[in-house]
Structure 1
């Protein structure tokens, strides 16, 4: 197994702090909007495919190396798990997942070890991986998404964390090859530029996920989905996508132009968010219905021709209080923070 060069990582880590602002201001990274298309015109494998799964992709590349040494032999997948130091992975499950995709044939031995042999489809998948790992834009997109998911899962409460720890995780592989410190640095600069993470001036340097970063993670989309979504214009164009419990009747999308001096954007977003997450807050049916009613009232006021600041304040405060009193999930915490942001903006 190729081990992480600790000295090189330490150097990359020291460069991260200096590189954030310089990368954002002087050389902002631009990633193509079509996030599923590679530079060669192909399609990036989804996360539910063998090629898109970082561990299965590594296994395919490892099997290719073993097959070059012993072309006709079945290879014990247990060796892969041991050599790559993946104690949480079950070699039998890994082998069977590849077998289900017709990428290997698995021999059931008396000893119970999962022995695998590449099929023609497996060799074709390896060929695609070797081409894909050379696609710089695809690598950067993957690194941003993988790091962002890891940061949310590891420190979603916005606590600072050393970003280099990501390089020691199974997710730090793209198309079977390791993500480098330089690639991580570029991804961090991009995430920081778009306010999904923030740099914390510590020694060693750390980062923390922002409220925007948490919101991006909760939507389930990619970083590029978040970055490229429509933004409100100077006239406060507010777009609310299909929020359950908030949109009235058959209305699916709502756009409002408000030029009366009150920006309702944060309040519409708050109402929509609460409507979307209310079923997963762990509230009783009675409390959930009441929460959705207040969110509906806030949405109605915020999308009116002339939103009244007093009523916006009243409904947003009620939502915040109900979330504080009845829910302790990350989704509830996000809603509380959104309410606080909206209330602060109203006073400015």
Structure 2
């Protein structure tokens, strides 16, 4: 086996391894919670375990789900490798997986804003523009172009309980707490089975979020699981932005914001998320289907349930690897993602009264296992 083939197999494994309101604000924000400084450019650390990635999630009008992740990381045999992985799942279950990697000389970035581009005979980029962002994916599997808008400033997504972790640091910033997207897609020759691209298709309107994550250690050293719940466009209701990480010692690092329109109207630091009901994928394992949320901030509280009601995608990269890649995957953490549309039914109580908060959200539950650990079919409820 050639070194080039072996290298490509290894790289395929590491991609996975984020008008004035009538609703009174619940608390003032700390200075570092709403970010005015642009922190979206790659840091390009030389540490051996350095990894950071920018991921974008979108649900479109027809029910299609798009996830994209642009990753920069160091490997034993090279530094600052760029990887791009995207899944585009249609309502009928058809899945397009677009993934490529490039060495440092074959990708570009801007030092003062988000602009990451993989070049050569493929072209993938996520970049900031004067009035939003642009996202493009293009290889033999397919081509996708999106125009993105994000009216909210970046937000801190963790409480910073790094002292509870065994080692290393993790930083998560939701650089786009609420994305709106318009764009188009066409399948490529690999998907059509011919030498020609398929026809362009208008995707209509999509909504979602964008997050930047920075890691100093392998992800299994940092967390057991991570669930993120971001409201879809529900109209006039206050909307949810929730991040909940279960740490290796079973403690939680949780952060919750409420937004209304183009404004963040409240935040909670004391947040508990408890799994009340689960289901099991016979091939992948157990995942939550019903959550109990209790969030406190001074005299304010937000309590209720979140139900994961409509499946969008169950995804494990290992299932889309060659036999060689699956063998090599034993040395990397395993991450399985369960993506759903969720229904939340919450009650806010505070100095300004009591109010119900309901709506739909995009939910992503990432289940993390360390290398060479066989997936168990049951886990303790959190």
TM-score, normalised relative to structure 2: 0.20
With normalisation by structure 1, the TM-score equals 0.22
More helix by share: 1
Higher strand share: 2
